[in-house]
């Protein structure tokens, strides 16, 4: 018998970091994303963000690659926002994303970090935050391709 239990911290932005995640539908969007995760054998631990990006802390089944889960979340949620006309502009997520593994011992700290996004982003931009995550996880890729 195999036992696989991974927790992921997903981070991605709206296209061009446009402030499209409006307060008027933010909570509905978060609930919708929780439903997408459940539909694909996952469970939402925490979700939060600000107008231009989102953080998702979740478990999902080992049969689903992180890239596939992000694809499901992005495509279904942007379709929902646009079909329901929640946003006055066409809603699209950026192509790139971050997926970081989280150990059980750090889940409370990551949850608190996600819950504190509004306050946190009074001091740090999304780009600087993302660069910091990449550095902490040992990524040294070319930044020219990061913001697509």
pLDDT digits over 78-136, tens only? 999 999 999 999 999 999 898 889 999 999 999 999 999 888 788 888 788 878 777 87
Give the CATH number for residue 39: 3.30.70.1290
User: Tens digits of per-residue pLDDT, 11-35?
Assistant: 999 999 999 999 999 999 999 999 9
Look at residue 42 and tell me if it is in a domain: yes
- For 72-84, write each residue's pLDDT tens digit: 999 999 999 999 9
Question: Is 59 within a domain?
Answer: yes
pTM of the model: 0.88
In a domain, 1, yes or no: no
Domains in the chain: how many in total?
1
CB distance 70 to 97 below 8 Å: yes
| Residue 37 located in a structural domain | yes
Q: Give me the domain span that covers residue 50.
A: 7-145
Q: pLDDT category, 62, cuts 50, 70, 90?
A: confident
Which residues face 6 on adjacent strands? none
């Amino acid at each position: 018998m195999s036992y696989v239990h991974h927790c992921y911290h997903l981070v991605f932005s709206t296209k061009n970091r446009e402030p499209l995640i409006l307060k008027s539908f933010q909570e509905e969007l978060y609930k919708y994303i929780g439903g997408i995760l459940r539909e694909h054998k996952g469970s939402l631990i925490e979700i939060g963000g600000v107008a231009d990006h989102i953080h998702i802390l979740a478990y999902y089944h080992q049969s689903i690659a992180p890239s596939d889960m992000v694809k499901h979340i992005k495509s279904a949620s942007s379709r929902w926002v646009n079909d329901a006309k929640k946003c006055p502009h066409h809603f699209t997520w950026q192509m790139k994303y971050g997926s970081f593994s989280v150990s059980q011992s750090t889940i409370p700290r990551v949850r608190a970090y996600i819950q504190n996004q509004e306050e946190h982003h009074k001091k740090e931009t999304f780009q600087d935050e993302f660069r910091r995550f990449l550095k902490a996880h040992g990524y040294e890729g070319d930044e020219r391709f990061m913001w697509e």
